[in-house]
Amino acid sequence: MDRFWAAPPVTRTLTALTFAQSALVYGGLLGAHRVIFLPELLFKLPPDLWRLFSSFLLTGPQLSFIFDLYFLFTYGSGLETDSPRFSLPGDFFTYVFFVATVILLTSGYLLNGVIFTSALILAFVYTFAQDNRGRKTNFYFFQIPMEMLPWAMLGITFVMYGWPAALHASTGILAAHMYDFLTRIYPAFGGGRNYLTTPAFVRRFFSAYVPRSADRAYGTAYRPTGPAQNSSPSGWTSSLQSPWSGRGPGRRLGAN
């Protein structure tokens, strides 16, 4: 329990809520139809506003329940604790809010998706890969550049579950790239201004949290190694049962 509370706050909360909701759904105590994204129910009275959040908190079934939670926690913690782009209090929360909004608008409203956990995980992986460009990681039995990892995962999704599932998952890459463009690429190379700054009240809220990096729970087993090493332990060498296992297009999953 101490290791759990030592984890960074946003990832810790996301993982705990995803675990609780998924356990209730797959345990038969909560109907999936009550948590999936259904836009028409957001405009009734009273509106089901919780669907804006609960649609990001449902894993796949069976083994995917474990792997979704693991990768959500691993890559989320890696970003929230170690990424230089989230060095100030509340920056990672702003990032999650932005990518979740883009995923909601694209996968939800444009593509009629109902569950967005896979897209959120892929957004984390894309940003993690951008922070570790030039390093190597293992994917199945192959060593690939770290920046290729999200695309390799997307390719496996396409092969195993078809283009609709890959299309829904790809909105996570789109969202993460938009954040990268607006906060790093455009201000640095286009001379523009970064408008995605963390509000002052969010900074004040998260400034009370002091990370305890020595006690972090997620470990470093799935982090890439430094340039002096040619490989890193990979969270995807055993990814035949990956976060995408048992998951199809968003609408089909919501119907289960």
Return the CATH number at 120.
1.20.1540.10
- Assign 182 a pLDDT band (cuts: 50, 70, 90): very high
pLDDT for the residue numbered 208: 79
- Measured CA to CA, the distance from residue 232 to residue 179 in angstroms comes to 26
Tokens of 34: 């009550």
48 in any annotated domain: yes
Residue 62 lies in a domain: yes
In a domain, 227, yes or no: no
Per the CB < 8 A criterion, the answer to whether 175 and 103 are in contact is yes
What domain range is 184 assigned to?
1-209
State how far the Cα of 48 lies from the Cα of 114, in Å rounded to an integer: 14
Tell me how many domains the chain contains.
1
Q: What value does the mean pLDDT take over residues 222-228?
A: 39
Confidence check: pLDDT of 45 > 80: yes
10-28 per-residue burial string, b: 16 or more CB within 10 A, e: under 16 = bbbebbeebbebbebbbee
On whether residue 215 sits in a domain, the answer given is no
- Kindly give the residue spans of alpha helices, DSSP state H, lying in the chain: 2-6, 9-26, 51-54, 63-82, 91-103, 117-131, 149-161, 163-180, 186-189, 200-206, 250-255
Distance CA 157, CA 165 (A): 7
Q: Which of 43-47, 97-101, 115-119, 233-237 has the lowest mean pLDDT?
A: 233-237
Residue with token string 């129910």: 41
Is residue 112 within 8 A of residue 250, CB to CB? The reply is yes
- How many angstroms separate the CA atoms of 150 and 128, rounded? 9
CA terminus-to-terminus distance, the chain:
33
Q: What is the pLDDT of residues 111-165, one digit of tens each?
A: 999 999 999 999 999 999 999 998 998 887 888 999 999 999 899 889 877 889 8
Question: What digits encode the pLDDT tens for the residues 31-40?
Answer: 999 999 999 9
Give how far Cα 120 sits from Cα of 27, 57, 172, 232, Å: 23, 10, 6, 23
Specify the pTM. 0.81
Q: What is the average pLDDT score of the chain?
A: 82
Helix, strand, coil tally for the chain in percent (to 5) = 60, 5, 35
Q: Is the pLDDT of residue 20 over 90?
A: yes
For residues 63-91, average pLDDT: 91
